[in-house]
Amino acid sequence: MDYKAYFLEVKNWFEKIKLYTQSKRYDYEELEDSLKRMDFFINSIKEDEITENETISLQTLVKDINELLREGEKIEENSRQMVIPIGQHNLPPLPYNYNALEPHISNEIMKLHHDKHHQSYVDGLNRAEKMMQKARETNDFSMLKHWEREASFHGSGHYLHTLFWESMCPKGGGEPKGALMRQINRDFGNYNAFKKHFSEAAKQVEGSGWAILVWSPRPRRLEILQSEKHNNLTQWDTIPLLPLDVWEHAYYLQYKNNRGEYVDKWWNIVKWPAVEDRFGKAQKLQWKPV
Ligand SMILES: [Fe+2]
């Protein structure tokens, strides 16, 4: 094997790889390290005196970089797939049957609530996003205030309902465990105080809306908020963890005007492990405290 020829070939290849990875802006530590190692190695080799050992090390580095690049491509592809293009939100299927939450929430409510109401938020959000895109393209922002409001209302409606379905399950209820329970105790005193506060917040929502347990990353505390409609009174800095829908469409067919009974029964279908999981992920976000 001509070591010098191989070295020159690698050197040439590496120049192209450097340009390629710069254009990609990989945020990928391992690849960065290997590229730095290769850079250092190539600069330290004297091409006329290259040894067999140095050639073997070069081959290993080339192999490592190729593997890491393939992995980087895969990560990029995955994150591309996770992007929802403008106006292309979909109604997520219910994670259980329409009748799964009976007797606490009836089959009829779930079918209407999911298939009609939630679908209309998805459609409304898609339409608002497309109209705002059109405004940017045509430079006509005369209706922007309207579409911004639509995007906020339907967007919040879509995202909160998605969380709401995930936060419930048949044979749910009980109490949360682990880090979430410790945080509830820390921030509300104990579970019963939290539950009472949350239930009261839900019962006292003025008109249509939600009660929502949120994680507030800046003070690093749990908080309970009400949201009138879907989007009023929102605290934009927070991450919703556990939402309770108290729009009439969520209970009226079954509970009539007795929202309180609906709220009290609802605790039997809370899926705490889903909330614990969201809490764990939300906690990884760290806002700078101010
Ligand atoms: Fe709803």
pLDDT in tens, 136-184: 999 999 999 999 999 999 999 999 999 999 999 999 999 999 999 999 9
132 within 8 A of 144, measured Cβ to Cβ: yes
Q: How far is the CA of 125 from the centre of ligand 1 (A)?
A: 15
Q: How far is the CA of 85 from the centre of ligand 1 (A)?
A: 24
List pLDDT tens digits, range 227-285.
Answer: 878 777 676 678 999 999 999 999 999 999 999 999 999 999 999 999 999 999 998 88
**Percent over 70 (pLDDT), the chain:** 97
Q: In terms of pLDDT, which residue wins out, 231 or 59?
A: 59
Q: How far is the CA of 117 from the centre of ligand 1 (A)?
A: 7
User: Any bridge partners for residue 216, and if so which?
Assistant: 221
Q: How far is the CA of 13 from the centre of ligand 1 (A)?
A: 57
Q: How far is the CA of 35 from the centre of ligand 1 (A)?
A: 51
Q: What CA–CA distance (Å, rounded) separates 18 from 22?
A: 6
Domain boundaries, the chain: 3-82, 107-166, 178-282
Q: How far is the CA of 230 from the centre of ligand 1 (A)?
A: 9
pLDDT band at 290 (very low <50, low <70, confident <90, very high): low
Q: How far is the CA of 145 from the centre of ligand 1 (A)?
A: 24
Q: Which fold has domain 178-282?
A: minor pseudopilin epsh fold (3.55.40)
Distances (CA, A) of 8 to 1, 17, 20, 56, 62: 13, 14, 19, 14, 13
pLDDT at 47: 84
What value does the mean pLDDT take over residues 44-61? 90
pLDDT at 238: 80
Residue bearing tokens 């929802």: 84
DSSP string of 31-72, one letter each residue = HHHHHHHHHHHHHH--GGG--HHHHHHHHHHHHHHHHHHHHH
pLDDT band at 127 (very low <50, low <70, confident <90, very high): very high
> Residues within 5 Å of ion ligand 1 by Cβ?
245, 247, 250
pLDDT band at 60 (very low <50, low <70, confident <90, very high): very high
pLDDT at 26: 64
Q: How far is the CA of 146 from the centre of ligand 1 (A)?
A: 22
Q: What CA–CA distance (Å, rounded) separates 164 from 219?
A: 25
CATH architecture group of domain 107-166: Orthogonal Bundle (1.10)
pLDDT at 20: 84
Q: How far is the CA of 184 from the centre of ligand 1 (A)?
A: 26
Q: How far is the CA of 135 from the centre of ligand 1 (A)?
A: 29
List pLDDT tens digits, range 188-207.
Answer: 999 999 999 999 999 999 98
pLDDT at 30: 83
pTM, entire model: 0.73
pLDDT at 25: 64
271 within 8 A of 242, measured Cβ to Cβ: no
Q: How far is the CA of 160 from the centre of ligand 1 (A)?
A: 8
